[in-house]
Structure 1
Amino acid sequence: MTSAQETALTYGSLAFAVVWGVLLVPQLISHYARFGRVHGRRVVTTAVVTLYSCLAVAVVLLPLPAPGDARLTQTVQLTPFQWIADVATELDEHGLSYAHAPFTLAFQQLAMNVLLFVPLGMFVVLLRRRDVRCATLTGLAMSLLVEVTQLTANFGTAPYAYRIFDVDDLLANTAGAALGGTAAVLFLALRRLKRTNAAIREAGSVTAPRVAAPTRPIAPGTPAVGGPVDVPLVDLRTRPLPRPR
């Protein structure tokens, strides 16, 4: 990590402390008014999004150019995958093999650009309930906005352009957003599968109530098990009496 990146992360953390302190009290009041309690998950989500936003803005804009800094000789780089040649150049300068490629500045810059947009892709899927394609397009749009900001010297607020408009940064940022969106989709799928399995196990553990078998009607005169014999009734008034012998 370069000194410029360390400076950006330091100021981004300080900005988060200030912004979070301003947002926390109104959010707590809103939670008590709406829910009657503090919704912990919403508070944590707001904190994470605020932290990411502050760090991302700081990394993009800081450090600002000092009055004595030399201007860039190149402000636009439109060759895709130029970072591969930059890595090879660094290795040749130091006489290192390709096994040391992850330790070169060009490779680390590429990795930082990928990781910078991974949370953005996750936020699009987890918080906005969008798919990976939407996360990728969002990453592309935000990366293009960043590169245009750097090309125009922060839209004219800086004395000159102090960052390069790099197409490799555009590709790396978009890839990071796509990776973040994919990871979020897999996380949601695993959580849904876990809940489904838990519901199936819970349903299987419930014992079904026994249903008594229907009894067949007993015909008249048939002795019941353990009960009296059903004797048919005879009307003596209609039956003739036996003659005496």
Structure 2
Amino acid sequence: MGVYISDVQMAVFFFPIVALLITFPFLLWNYHRQGAISSWSILMSYSLVFYLICAYFLIILPLPSQSEVAQLTTIKYNLHPFMFVREFINYSPFRLSNVHTWIPAIKDATLIQPLFNVFLTVPFGVYLRIYFKRSFKQAILFSFLLSLFFELTQLSGLYGIYPRPYRLFDVDDLMLNTLGGTIGFLISGTFKNIIPNGATMQHTMQIKSQKVSIFRHSTAAVIDWILIIITDLILGLVLGGIGIDLSRIYSLIWILDTVIVILIPEMLFKKTLGMRLVHVKLTHKNDDPHVSFGNILLRNIVGYSWFYLWALAEFSTNGLGISHKVQSVLIVGLLVYLVLFFSILIVDVLIDLFRSEHDLLFERISKTRLKSTLRN
């Protein structure tokens, strides 16, 4: 049991890292499809990720050294079904007529190992039914495929990292894992009373989709900044390819990137690519769709002022060759502004988390806001 607990502890350590990596795709997927995220979906998605990490670590850990694996002479696979039954009969201390053998038999590997393989996939069957809404036949199929993935991982020596398998590919494991997923599917029917009603969830999601939360706002911004980086790489290659020296004007190219990716699309279409993907657009603070160019320009100047000032300071110090004294003043002034700007932004975001109707400071100054384009 100590080995299993150690594997789960390792999963607990890695879970925040994996959760962080999947957060943005998770937000983007849900905002693009529904314009909102339910608490139920968050709970189920992240608990599923944690479960899969635990299950994966349980079938690969502990990792031996490559030299230890190279010296192994054990069999690599078992293709004889129900070998676990024969091992229990032949090697278990259990004797039906002797009560004193029952507890040792429960603790023996001949029983613990098969039970472990059953319980390993019981949660997976539960997820398949209550979260993914799969049928009984699909639950059996997907449980088998998950088990097959685990067994092939072991058979491949962890995808070729090891010279040979260090764990047995066992047809019994395939059977027991599939059984576990099936059991999970069957018992999940008892959880119906605690599962949110579909119609209620849909109604709640429709209401939430009409409000632009800070997370929806941020998801659009992340997409736009990814596009800015891509645009910068392309412009750098193009301008460098025609012989332009980028060393002095590189910071100005960053400003040009934001104009191309953010300002121009907002001027022409009232939405950037990021906004389009999460179904929001720019409007006047009074929800007037005819927001003026001046409002949009002011929104960008104020909202990205920290970035524009940094780029201009960078250009002034490197591109214009000004004195070190002036450079120092510019750097100190920029740092003070950055601290002030992001302090206000953090407070603004915290307020937004607890107030459903709250415009950020640069939105209030520019008299603009983001509005959902989804229709119920």
- Does TM, normalized by the shorter one, top 0.5? yes
Backbone CA RMSD of aligned residues: 3.1
Is 1:137 the counterpart of 2:144 in the alignment?
no
Larger helix percent: 2
Identity, % of aligned positions? 26
Is 2:140–2:182's contact at 8 Å kept on the other side of the alignment? yes
Shift of 1:98: 4.5
> Do residues 111 (structure 1) and 115 (structure 2) align?
yes
Equivalent residue, structure 2, for 1:59: 58
Corresponding position of 2:227: none
Deviations 1:190-209 (A, max 9, x none): 679x99xxxxxxxxxxxxxx
What residue is the counterpart of 1:222 in the other structure?
none
Pair 1:71 & 2:66 matched: no
Q: Partner of 1:83 in structure 2?
A: 84
How far did 1:30 drift?
Answer: 7.4
**Whole-Å Cα distance in 1 between the matches of residues 137 and 37 of structure 2?**
34
> How far apart are residue 76 of structure 1 and its match?
1.4
| Residue deviations 1:197-222 (CA, integer Å, cap 9, x gap) | xxxxxxxxxxxxxxxxxxxxxxxxxx
Kept in 1: contact 2:56–2:150 (CA 8 A): no
1:42 and 2:41 aligned: yes
CA distance in 2, matches of 1:147, 1:53: 15
**Helix, strand or coil at the partner of 1:187:** helix
Partner of 2:177: 173
Q: Kindly provide the CA deviation profile for residues 39-85 of structure 1, in whole angstroms up to 9, marking residues without a partner as x.
A: 32121112111101111121122222214535141221223222233
Give the secondary-structure state (helix, strand or coil) at the position aligned to 1:144.
Answer: helix
Counterpart amino acid of residue 16 in structure 2: A
**Does the 8 A contact of 1:117 with 1:177 survive in 2?**
yes
Is contact 1:87-1:106 (8 Å) kept? yes
Q: 1:150 aligns with which of 146, 154, 157?
A: 154
Instruction: Give the 3-state SS of the residue equivalent to 1:91 in structure 2.
Output: coil
For structure 1, list consecutive stretches of 5 or more residues without a partner in the other structure.
196-245
Mean alpha-carbon deviation: is it higher for 60-69 or for 132-141? 60-69
Query: SS in structure 2 opposite 1:154?
Result: helix
Instruction: Give the TM-score of the pair, scaled to structure 2.
Output: 0.44
1:151-198 deviation line (CA, Å, top 9, x unaligned): 12123222321010112111110110000111123434x679x99xxx
Aligned length: 190
State the AA in 1 paired with 2:172: D
**Could you say if the C-alpha distance between residues 141 and 99 of structure 1 is closer, same or farther in structure 2, counting changes exceeding 3 Å?**
same
Matched residue, 1:162? 166
Tell me how far 1:130 sits from its aligned partner: 1.4
| Counterpart amino acid of residue 150 in structure 1 | Q
Q: Contact 1:83 / 1:106 at 8 angstroms: preserved in 2?
A: yes
Q: Distance in 1 between matches of 2:33 and 2:167?
A: 45
TM-aligned CA deviation for residue 136 of structure 1:
1.1
Task: Give 1 or 2 for the bigger CA radius of gyration.
Answer: 1
Distance 1:34 1:135 in 2: 25
Would you say the 8 A contact 1:91–1:100 is kept in 2?
yes
Shift of 1:111: 1.2
* TM-fit CA distance, 1:139: 0.8
